Amino acid sequence: MKTFAILFLFCASVYGADTITTNVVGDITTKLFERTAKDGKPEFRFERVYRGKTEILRIMSCPNKQGTLAVVSRSYILGEDFMTESDENGDGVFELISLHRSGTDDLEMFRRQPDGSVKPVSTQTLEATKKQNAAAVEPIKKAIEKPDMSDQEISDSLQQARQKVQDLEKEKKDDK
């Protein structure tokens, strides 16, 4: 679980059963999307929280080393912009903080240190992450632009993007 892009590609290509649940409490609506494998074990959970009709929070959970779902990222949304905190190594601590400006490639990232302080990631890591995000979005753009793509073409596109994201991971500088 090195980056949100890798998680996104992994989750996008998982086969299994989907469950969608909606809960409403007052003006807060929570929509859960869960995918389970054929063996019944959870593959991931994606939770979206709305105030009225406005999305304000996204939470992604994936199985941890013990096989139980654990939160790996939270995105706090304000209009078109959002901030994401993510657990990059599965230890339950959100080490990486990313600020995104929707509709652009504007991105800034910070790493939470063991003492709780926060430092910007290296420029090299930031640029590699931007490339990873672009690679992760590419198969979605292709599928939207070519709605008649076969399942095999979509699968191949996802696999190519996954490989590109993994290759770009090597470009990141260790900012710990």
Going by C-alpha positions, the residue among 47, 46, 57, 41 that lies closest to residue 7 is: 46
pLDDT of residue 2: 42
For domain 4-123, give the fold: Lipocalin (2.40.128)
Q: Please give, one letter per residue, the 3-state secondary structure of 8-75.
A: HHHHHCCCCEEEEEEEEECCEEEEEEEEECCCCCEEEEEEEEEECCEEEEEEEEEECCCCCEEEEEEE
Q: Lowest-pLDDT range, 61-65, 86-90, 167-171?
A: 167-171
**pTM confidence score:** 0.70
Residue range 30-49: mean pLDDT, rounded: 84
Q: How much is the mean pLDDT over the chain? A: 80
pLDDT of residue 135: 80
Q: Read off the pLDDT band of 120 (50, 70, 90).
A: very high
Sign of the torsion angle spanned by Cα atoms 40, 44, 50, 55: negative
Q: Tens digits of per-residue pLDDT, 45-80?
A: 889 999 999 999 999 988 888 888 889 999 999 988
Q: Read off the pLDDT band of 18 (50, 70, 90).
A: low
